[in-house]
Each structure stands twice: as C-alpha cells, then as structure tokens.
C-alpha cells in the first residue's frame, strides 16, 4: 500500500504557512510543519507556492482550436462567431472533436487545470460534439474531472428539433443543462427557454449553466428569470449564470433590486473576461463599454463568481493559451479589482470559487482526507502569481505527478 506515497517538503501554502504535506494512496494524509524522515519518496518544493489546482469553469472544447476554419471572425461579434461555428460544425466528426478537446485538456492540465466544465453544442442533429465530449470526459477521468453542459447554441426554440435534441443530450449523460435565452427569437421564447431548462434539470436531476444575457442590450433581463426559477425550484447553487454581460449595462436602480434577488437565489456566476472584453462593445462608438458583468459588486455581495476562458482559438477568440492566470489578470484590469484583497479574490475565482461553481468542493482543496490534487507555482503568493504568471512547476493529480515544467532561464551574454 506504500507504492503511491509521497512527501512534499517545504510547501508555501496560500495563507503563507510553511508545511510538509503527506500523500498516501492518492489522498492527503497530513499537513504539518517539519515531518520526521520516513521511508517514503520526497519532493522538495523549496518554499514555492502550493495551491489547489486551477478550475476552468467555462470553456467550449468542441470549438477549441478551429480558429480560421472556414474563416476568421472579422467583425469580432458573438453573432459572426455563431455563424462561422454554424458552418464549421457541418463537418464535425467524433475524432475531429475528440482530438482537439483532448489536446486542449492536455494544454490546460500542463498549466495546472484539473477541473473543467465544458460547453458542448447540442444544436446539430447528430449530437456529434456532445457525444465526443462525453467520451473524452470518460477517457481523461483518471487525471482530470470534466463536466459537460448540453448547450443549445442556436437556441432551444431556434429550430423545430432543438428542444428534443437538448433533452436527448441530457438523457445521454450531460452533467448540466444549458441555454441561451438572449439569443432566442423573442423575449417570450427566451423566458420559455429558461422554464424548459429548469424542467429538464429537475426531470433528470442535473446542474444548470446558462449563457445568460451575453449582449450589451440593457433590456436583456433573463438573469432575473433564472434567479427567480432558482428560488422557486430550490435549485439554488446548482444553477450558474454564465457571461451576464448585460448586467454591466443595467441602470443602477434596477441593478440594486436585482442584487437582492440574486442574493436570495444563491446562484453562481461565471465571467469570461478575455472573450467578453473583445466580443462586447462592438456596436458602441465612444465611450465604449467593457462588456463584463459586475464581478466586483457580486463578489462584495458575497455571491460566488468564478472565471473562465470561454475559448481557445475558435470563431469567437483567436488567441488563448490555456493559462488561467491570464484570465484572472484580465479580470483584475477590466473589473478594476486592483486592491490586494481583490487580487486575491480573482485568484480564488480561478481556483476555489470555480470548484464551488462546479459543485465539486467535496473533492477539492488542500485538506487532510481530500484527493491529493494540487499544483506548485514558481511564485510566493497569489499576488506574485498573478503579477508574473509564472510557470506551474508541478501538477499532481490524485497523488500522481502528472506534469512537470521547467521555468525559463535567461542567460546574459554581455
Ligand atoms: N457561444 C456563445 O453563445 N457565446 C460565447 N461566448 C461562445 C460561444 C464562445
Ligand atoms: Fe460561453
């Protein structure tokens, strides 16, 4: 039973404490300063920052790595992105999606991401994207936890079959029901789509993660519909509102009222600052909106907010490397969360707050008895990690060293 044991020496924890950490059979069995020497392999962490792994709470793995296929997004809008993806998805095969999804997950894992919630488009009749992501979820399960959202990109009522496709996808084993109310043809259909999402989630006992109000239109108010349904059904923290960029455009009187409802609802929020700073504000001249939800105010209100990349090289965003610190870095800028507590909060939004969004807290975190999934950053603190976005030196998944990366070394030659 000792073959999986490991002791990590000289770990700098997030709270600044220096400890040793023991791993046995994939679990954390002790965290304390200065363990005695035991006949167990050791790894000297040398005072580097030991953190729970990054959580990527919102990414579209089905479209990842397709930028330019069949063309690049010239307007930079969500709508042109949906159109391009609509063309690209005509040619999907299981292998096509699986290869790109796996490559992206490896890219993420190498940089310390061990928990992922992916969106999977369910608005093409073959459900190829969803099937592929369900297979990938299974294939990586020994080293990464993946959740799949059945996401009706073209609207639940955007085509005659879409409602049925969504239900079929949920029955096939998606973890969460998705939606896109602001993209439905009318406001009424948007409201109906939210009702349908909650109906399906209750019927199949699923989480909910809705693309909600991802538009600059200050009249797009589906967030209140989602929050009210979360209260009425008791689904609460099992519900997530993704994007909610229109919240950045609501008047303050309405935002104040809404905040009260959101607090009662206990729903989670996901902001995707890299993408929404580029997709939104496209119809503005100047001043140009930032196109992001009220991350700082939601956080101040005690609501759970996490951050996602949304895209890596796809029709909506041609950049992206899989580095969650880039995401937190952008949030700090766009949301003006530059205070020290705010910077720490943004780090938490790509780690522990992401775990809360995914509802995986039982298997997440650095505590005795939890799975030994952790990362070691070439940094001293959360602030230092965000500022420099340094190398993730070690990625340990359930006690197993999954990835190791050497930091770059500069050689001066004066
Ligand atoms: N689809 C959508 O509706 N919104 C997005 N931000 C992406 C895909 C990436
Ligand atoms: Fe998205």
Same domain flag for 102 and 158 = yes
- Number of Cβ within 10 Å of residue 347's Cβ equals 25
Question: How many distinct helices (H) and strands (E) make up the chain?
Answer: 13, 16
Find the 310 Cα to ligand 2 centroid distance in Å: 5
- Number of Cβ within 10 Å of residue 321's Cβ equals 12
Taking the alpha carbons of 217, 218, 224, 225 in that order, is the dihedral positive or negative?
A: negative
Residues contacting residue 201 through CB under 8 Å, at least 6 positions apart: 176, 177, 207, 208, 233, 235, 238
Same domain flag for 328 and 395 = no
Concatenating the DSSP letter of every residue in 46-61 gives: TTPEEEPPEEEEEEET
pLDDT tens sequence across 86-98:
999 999 999 999 9
Same domain flag for 43 and 72 = no
Is residue 412 in some structural domain?
no
Whole-angstrom Cα distance, residue 217 to residue 214? Answer: 9
User: What is the residue with the minimal CA distance to atom 3 of ligand 1?
Assistant: 153
Name the residues around ion ligand 2, CB cutoff 5 A: 310
Same domain flag for 108 and 28 = no
Q: What number does the ligand 1 atom closest to the CA of 211 have?
A: 3
Question: Predicted confidence band at 1 (pLDDT cuts at 50, 70, 90)?
Answer: very low
Residues in the chain: 414
Same domain flag for 141 and 265 = yes
Is residue 210 in some structural domain?
yes
Same domain flag for 114 and 211 = yes
Is residue 1 in some structural domain?
no
Find the 25 Cα to ligand 2 centroid distance in Å: 36
pLDDT tens sequence across 52-82:
999 999 999 999 999 999 999 999 999 999 9
Find the 212 Cα to ligand 1 centroid distance in Å: 10
| Ligand 1 site-directed mutation target among 57, 119, 316, most atoms within 8 Å of CB | 316
CATH code of the domain in which 76 resides = 3.20.20.140
* C-beta of residue 272 within 8 angstroms of C-beta of residue 309: yes
Pocket of ligand 1 from Cβ distances under 6 Å: 60, 78, 153, 180, 211, 214, 275, 310-311, 316
User: What is the residue with the minimal CA distance to atom 4 of ligand 1?
Assistant: 78
Same domain flag for 71 and 143 = yes
Which letter, b or e, does each residue of 114-144 get, where b requires 16 or more Cβ atoms within 10 Å of its Cβ? bbbbbbbbbbbeebbbbbbbbebbeebeebb
Is residue 155 in some structural domain?
yes
Q: What number does the ligand 1 atom closest to the CA of 180 have?
A: 3
Whole-angstrom Cα distance, residue 144 to residue 137? Answer: 8
Is 361 a known active-site residue?
no
Rounded to 10 degrees, the C-alpha dihedral 397/141/212/352 comes to -20
Kindly state the tokens that stand for 120: 């999977």
The runs of H, that is alpha helices, within 12-75 are none
Per-residue confidence (pLDDT) for residue 290, from 0 to 100:
96
Find the 117 Cα to ligand 2 centroid distance in Å: 11
Q: What number does the ligand 1 atom closest to the CA of 315 have?
A: 9
Same domain flag for 350 and 315 = yes
pLDDT tens sequence across 25-57:
999 999 999 999 889 999 999 999 999 999 999
Is a pLDDT exceeding 50 seen at residue 2? no
Is residue 176 in some structural domain?
yes
Is a pLDDT exceeding 80 seen at residue 159? yes
The runs of H, that is alpha helices, within 89-184 are 94-110, 128-139, 162-172
Alpha-carbon 11 to chain mean position: 26
**Nearest listed ligand to the Cα of residue 276:** 1
Number of domains composing the chain: 2
Mean pLDDT of the chain: 97
CATH code of the domain in which 22 resides = 2.30.40.10
Find the 14 Cα to ligand 2 centroid distance in Å: 30
**Nearest listed ligand to the Cα of residue 279:** 1
Per-residue confidence (pLDDT) for residue 7, from 0 to 100:
97
Same domain flag for 184 and 112 = yes
Per-residue confidence (pLDDT) for residue 264, from 0 to 100:
98
Same domain flag for 148 and 287 = yes
- SS3 of residue 276 by DSSP: helix
Find the 228 Cα to ligand 2 centroid distance in Å: 22
The range of the structural domain enclosing residue 265 comes to 54-363
pLDDT tens sequence across 160-188:
999 999 999 999 999 999 999 999 999 99
Is residue 99 in some structural domain?
yes
Is a pLDDT exceeding 60 seen at residue 3? no
Same domain flag for 145 and 191 = yes
Q: What number does the ligand 1 atom closest to the CA of 243 have?
A: 6
Q: What number does the ligand 1 atom closest to the CA of 310 have?
A: 9
Is residue 409 in some structural domain?
no
**Which helix (H) or strand (E) element contains residue 316?**
none
Final residue before a domain boundary, out of 347, 363, 379: 363
Q: From the candidates 56, 80, 167, 214, give the one annotated as an active-site residue.
A: 214
Same domain flag for 354 and 370 = no
What distances in angstroms separate CA 58 from CA 28, 78, 349, 350, 353, one per listed residue? 28, 16, 12, 10, 13
Is residue 411 in some structural domain?
no
What distances in angstroms separate CA 7 from CA 39, 51, 66, 254, 310, one per listed residue? 10, 16, 41, 53, 36
């Amino acid at each position: 039973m000792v073959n999986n044991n490991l002791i990590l020496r000289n770990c700098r924890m997030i709270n600044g404490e220096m400890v040793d950490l023991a791993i046995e059979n994939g679990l954390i069995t002790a965290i304390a300063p200065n363990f005695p020497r035991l006949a167990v392999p050791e790894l000297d962490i040398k005072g580097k920052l030991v953190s729970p792994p990054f959580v990527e709470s919102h990414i579209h793995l089905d479209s990842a790595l397709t930028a330019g296929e069949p063309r690049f997004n010239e307007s930079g809008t969500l709508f042109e992105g949906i159109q391009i993806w609509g063309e690209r998805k005509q040619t999907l095969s299981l292998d096509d999606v699986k290869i790109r999804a796996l490559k992206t997950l490896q890219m993420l894992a190498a940089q310390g991401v061990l928990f992922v919630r992916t969106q999977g488009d369910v608005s093409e009749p073959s459900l190829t994207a969803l099937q592929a992501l369900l297979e990938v979820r299974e294939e990586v399960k020994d080293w990464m936890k993946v959740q799949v959202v059945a996401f009706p990109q073209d609207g639940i009522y955007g085509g005659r079959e879409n409602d049925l496709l969504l239900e079929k996808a949920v029955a096939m084993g998606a973890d969460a029901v998705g939606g896109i109310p602001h993209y439905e043809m009318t406001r009424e259909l948007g409201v109906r789509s939210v009702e349908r999402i909650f109906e399906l989630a209750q019927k199949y006992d699923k989480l909910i993660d809705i693309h909600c109000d991802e538009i600059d239109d200050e009249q797009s108010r589906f967030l209140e519909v989602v929050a009210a349904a979360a209260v009425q059904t008791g689904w609460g923290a099992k519900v997530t509102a993704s994007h909610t960029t229109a919240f950045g455009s609501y008047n303050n009187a309405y935002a104040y009222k809404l905040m009260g409802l959101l607090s009662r609802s206990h729903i989670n929020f996901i902001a995707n600052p890299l993408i929404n700073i580029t997709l939104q504000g496209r119809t503005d001249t100047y001043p140009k909106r930032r196109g992001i939800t009220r991350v700082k105010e939601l956080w101040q209100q005690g609501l759970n907010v996490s951050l996602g990349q949304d895209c890596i090289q796809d029709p909506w965003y041609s950049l992206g490397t899989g580095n969650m610190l880039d995401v937190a870095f952008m949030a700090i800028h766009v949301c003006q969360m530059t205070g020290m507590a705010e910077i720490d909060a943004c780090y938490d939004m790509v780690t522990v707050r992401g775990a809360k969004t995914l509802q995986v807290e039982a298997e997440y975190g650095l505590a005795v008895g939890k799975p030994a999934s952790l990362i070691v950053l070439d940094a001293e603190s959360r602030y230092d990690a965000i500022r420099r976005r340094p190398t993730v030196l070690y990625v340990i998944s359930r006690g197993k060293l999954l990835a190791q990366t050497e930091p770059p070394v500069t050689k001066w030659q004066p």
